[in-house]
A and B are shown apart, each in its own frame.
Chain A
Amino acid sequence: MAVAAAQAIPGKPRSWIAKRAVIYVLLLAVACLFFVPFLWTITTSFKSLPDSVHVTLWPHPWTTSAWHTVWSQYDFKLYLRNSLFLAVVVTAANMFLAGLGGYAFARLRFPGRELLFLLVLGTLMIPDQLRLIPVFVLLTNWHLIGNFSGYILINLVTATNLFFMRQYFLTIPKDYEEAARLDGAGYFKTFWRVMLPLAGPAIAALTILQFQGTWNDFFWPLILFGQGSTGHYTVQLGLAEFVLTYQTNWPALMAGSVIAILPILAIFIAFQRYFIAGVAAAGVKG
């Protein structure tokens, strides 16, 4: 489809067309490599157990028994609700706090700013696995193990997001906010009404990556809810337990994987448009 379109362009030398054709064939091949395993995953979830050991794309016969196993024996509805709740709260908190802090570090002058920013960069270097034991001890003392508050609290804002927002704010010309300030807008209003909208592409990227990160997080849910808080299980934790329990029940495992991927895929498709619009706006601005 794309190749034909490229050849239809008039007035281009033959070598140019050949080069384009090669690029598109390569792109399609790589895209297939990226897509086929997922297609396979979906069709396998509709296979019967004996059929799943046959390496065929199409199920024979089609059956929804794997989906019944997933819904009836495991509480995937609850897992979905838990994951959605955590992802929305953590993403909103990060968007606001990383934006606010990033704006301050990029634009506002205050004594000790460079020192504080060094601490932010230092935070970037502290791996979750170093803070694992002390954070677990802290949350245990505060009775925050096995409930959502503990998870949200330690994920309210990340240094990565703050760093990312600051870098983006640095690229925005100062004229915009100076105009806003001359109109009498305060710092917060300037941030909220002028800088944040101008940072649309960065906000979009942050939203996609943070939502994805929290939705897909396995490590902290395992630590905080893994010791028997099944009511707080996220989709990933539920699926992991499923993997360890149902070693080779491929159709059920693939059904569980589809459940873990589909909601975030839907959100990505919805955000993809916003993302492209944001990138286009960035192009116009420059």
Chain B
Amino acid sequence: MAVATDTTRVPAAGSRFGSRAREGLTGYLFVLAPMAIFGIFFLYPFGYAIYISFFDWGILGKNHGVGFHNYSLLWHDSTFHTAIKNTLEYTLVVVPLEMALGLSVALIVNAGIRGRTFFRAAFYFPSLASSVAITTIAIYMLSADGLLNSIIGGHRSWFTDEKTALWSIVGLNAWTTSGTIMLFYLAALQAIPTDVYEAAALDAASAWRTFRKITFPLLRPAHFFVLVVFGIGALKIFDQAFLVSGGRGGPNYATYTAVLYIYLKAFGSYQFGLAAAAGVVLFVVIFLLTLAQRATVGRYEVGG
């Protein structure tokens, strides 16, 4: 890095080509380490995962090629179907819920109130806690003798009841994730220039109209960012499902998610080829949904 400092001084006028070359070399140097990490631990494994998915592959390594056999196993495995269905249902409900919550709270905290620091910290607080700690607390609160039942007068054990287990995880994660989403929206709200609002105030636009016509559309990059990042995050739901079911995805597969399937196939029965194939399928689902999101929310500018 010290070398870059010394050799990249702005040269005297006239050596335009030299400065261009220097800028280019510096650019490559600066992105070298991140690109190497992305290449070795993301992009190469992407191809390697597809390769492994065509093998009978155990804990000790490659056994023999099986063609599309692992995919055909997935196609006929009702457990895998349930895992995909649970994961999609979870994502389709939790993401809009946590975005609406996060944006609402961000708008209120941003609305020139007193004690905004306190409220922002209060709403962000559940996002701080680890999934393991928060799930542990939730297991206690939603147990048969827990806080929730004493308030509503029921006796349901929410996480071990087949009908409510997945939706309890939805509630839990909407609660804990909205604070993080609020932070992203707050940052985006503060980037909106105030003269835009001054113009709206001159036109005597109502608060709702100002929000709908100005704030919401101006937040488009934030919407896209939050939707993609947290949508992908939701599809990867694992920790909570693992913990509430003791790593089994029960009761009766109610909390069996796609990633839990991958984990159990890999480290439960050491079927690495099958687990890799499930990972490829999950990737395709994530990829298609990302494309769909992009089409509905609007195109994102790639170039600077």
Contacts and interface: CB of A to CB of B under 8 A. Distances in A.
Given A27-B119, A109-B23, A136-B266, A130 B283 contact: yes
A253 to B, nearest CB: 5
B72 interface: no
- Interface of chain B: mostly helix, strand, loop or mixed: helix
A220 to B, nearest CB: 11
Contacts of B141: 37, 40
A244 B187 contact: no
Interface in A242-281: 243-244, 248, 250, 253-254, 256-257, 260-261, 264-265, 268-269, 272, 276, 279
A108 B6 CA distance: 17
A127 B266 CA distance: 16
Contact of A41 (B46, B57, B137): B137
Interface stretch (A10-18, A67-75, A97-105): A97-105
Given A2-B115, A5-B114, A218-B132, A201 B43 contact: no
- Interface of chain A: mostly helix, strand, loop or mixed: helix
A240 B132 contact: yes
Contact of B229 (A118, A132, A160): A160
Interface string B218-242: 0001000000110010011011001
B282 A108 contact: no
A257 B139 contact: no
Contacts of B121: 268-269, 272
Interface in B72-87: none
B130 A236 contact: yes
Nearest to B21: A110
Interface stretch (B24-32, B88-96, B196-204): B24-32
**Interface size classification for chain B:** 35 or more
Nearest to A273: B117
B33 interface: yes
A52 to B, nearest CB: 8
Interface of B: 1-2, 4-10, 20, 23-28, 30-31, 33-35, 37-46, 48-49, 52, 57, 61, 105, 108, 111, 113-115, 117-119, 121-137, 139-141, 143, 145-147, 150, 175, 179-180, 183, 187, 190-191, 193, 221, 228-229, 232, 235-236, 238-239, 242-243, 246-247, 258-259, 262-263, 266-267, 272, 275-276, 279-280, 282-283, 286-287, 290, 302-304
Given A113-B27, A133-B57, A240-B243, 6 more contacts: A124-B232, A127-B283, A127-B286, A187-B26, A219-B239, A282-B190
Closest 9 CB pairs of A and B: A110-B27, A216-B130, A134-B45, A104-B30, A108-B27, A134-B48, A186-B8, A55-B150, A101-B34
